[in-house]
Structure 1
Amino acid sequence: VGDKTLIDIAKILKQNSRTTDIVGRWGGEEFVVILPHTNLKSALEHANLLRAKIEAYSFEVIEKATSSFGVSCYLDGDSAKSILKRADDALYDAKNSGRNRVSAREEN
């Protein structure tokens, strides 16, 4: 059931992202969505769209699921590691704020 749910979530992410975006499984129950040439405001809007699509989807067996998103954008001097660290910190902010929400980190 868990694997099928993750496959469905991956499909939702892919079907609702641009062809230039990169969607991948990051580990366990986490995914990463890379949105090239996207500012923080647009990234937040996209994350909220994905969150709503997942919440509205009727999954087999479990029926409903929710998701939390951590969002960050490239800052001058960033490395992949520093961007992902901010996104991960934002994800934990979203989870600690009640889940099924989007949170962003704009600075280190």
Structure 2
Amino acid sequence: MDLLQLQKRVYQNKVAKGFNVTDIFKEFCFMYGELSEACDAYLKKKDDLGEELADVALYLIGLSELLGINLEEEIMHKMEKNEKRIYENKDGVLTKVKE
């Protein structure tokens, strides 16, 4: 899957359906709501957990497009950074000791 193409597809769907594409704060709020629904589905062992997680991802992908952020590049950069980090268990807490 090409995430950048998916970003554009999500954006086009929002425009075609008349959804918000200007109020960034509102998009964060909607994404938070979807994350809450996913958490609820997990806690209540509902069958729609996957769909709720997809909603969270779609809001994140759409928000990235609204902000002009190539999410795929950012994810790859962050994974490389995370893989190089070193952690130690200090008194039962995993603590980053080297960037």
User: Considering the TM-score relative to the shorter chain, is it more than 0.5?
Assistant: no
TM range (shorter): 0.3 to 0.5
Question: Which structure dedicates a bigger proportion of its chain to helix?
Answer: 2
Query: Under a length normalisation based on structure 2, what TM-score does the superposition of the two structures give?
Result: 0.33
Give the structure, 1 or 2, with the largest relative contact order (CA under 8 Å, sep 6 or more): 2
Query: Under a length normalisation based on structure 1, what TM-score does the superposition of the two structures give?
Result: 0.31
Question: Which structure dedicates a bigger proportion of its chain to strand?
Answer: 1
